[in-house]
Amino acid sequence: SSLQKLQLDGSHVETLPGSIKHLPNLKTLSLIGCKMLQYWPELPPSIRHLKALNCTLLQKVAFGLFSYELQEEKRVSISLQNCVNLDVENCIYSFLQHVRKQAYECEFRRRGVGRENIVVWRSDFFKICYPDSRVPEWFTYRAVGSSITFEVAPPSSYYFGSLLCIVLSSHSLDFELDIKCRCYLEDGKMHKYSLGILFLSHVPVEGHSDHVYMTYNFSGIFDVIKLDQLNNKIASSGHKPKLTFEFFVSSGMARGKKDLNLLIKECGVYPLNGSNNCVE
């Protein structure tokens, strides 16, 4: 089949047919507001955009080989906002372990092409949102609030990609949200690096549940020229600098409302720099 987009928004579908996994060209699946949907079977690996917002009866999902190989040129976006009955522990956590493994493999491929080809501008080619109230336990660094700081060892550490995560407290997503992240490296001075916009919520979402927003930041932290200069300084001093990630929430439609950064309950960073062991 040549079908690339399947849009069932607002329909009364209760499940999807098992044959959906045999649609090799399907890239976009939209199920926004499917209030009767309870389950979907294995999806084809071609899927790049999955929108299942306000599917309030949805309990079980199967990803199968969906996003089997994370690649920089293929953006993957999964939105499960307000799927309040979703069995996150059994359906999402295992999928995230798969994503973690694929992110490691993506990092190894990236390092194989040489530093001169490192992409530093792309920050959101994989992202997922789902209802939950905590950063996954396997994240190396977790903190309450909107910022987190940890030590890194030069020189190769700065080239790692990372999985980034925040938990937004329960609220009504009735406006477009921009979630951004800035990175600060302290080596006596502060070097700032912006990871850009991570998420946009384009449609109103009902309900008031906590949600996890996670993205794979493919790029290294700083450009090669700055890093070479920085590594020379650090190598001579033996100092391990501290790295700080700060997350921000903003909305052009929320002027005059309370500080949206207060909505960030937790944040987490999982560096893909080889110091973490990938679960098979």
Each domain of the chain, given as residue ranges in start order, spans 123-271
Q: State the amino acid at position 181 in one-letter form.
A: C
Give the CA distances from residue 89 to residues 80, 101, 208, 227, in Å, rounded to whole numbers and listed in that order.
14, 18, 20, 40
Please list, in sequence order, all residues whose beta carbon lies within 8 angstroms of the beta carbon of residue 72, skipping any fewer than 6 positions away: 106, 110, 119, 122, 125, 218
pLDDT of the residue at 145: 94
Rounded CA separation 34/83 (Å): 10
Residue (of 121, 100, 82) closest to 201 by Cα position = 82
Rounded CA separation 71/68 (Å): 9
pLDDT of the residue at 106: 73
pLDDT of the residue at 101: 82
pLDDT of the residue at 258: 46
> Digits of tens for pLDDT over the chain (280 positions)?
789 999 999 999 999 999 999 999 999 999 999 999 999 998 988 888 999 999 999 999 988 655 555 555 567 889 998 899 999 999 999 888 888 887 777 776 666 654 444 443 444 568 889 999 999 999 999 999 999 998 876 555 555 678 889 998 876 555 566 777 887 777 656 566 555 544 545 455 666 788 999 988 766 555 444 555 556 666 666 667 778 888 887 765 555 444 566 689 999 998 887 555 444 3
- Report the run of H or E that residue 6 belongs to, with start and end: strand 5-7
Rounded CA separation 223/86 (Å): 40
pLDDT of the residue at 105: 75
**Is 29 in a helix, a strand, or coil?**
strand
**Is 106 in a helix, a strand, or coil?**
helix
pLDDT of the residue at 130: 92
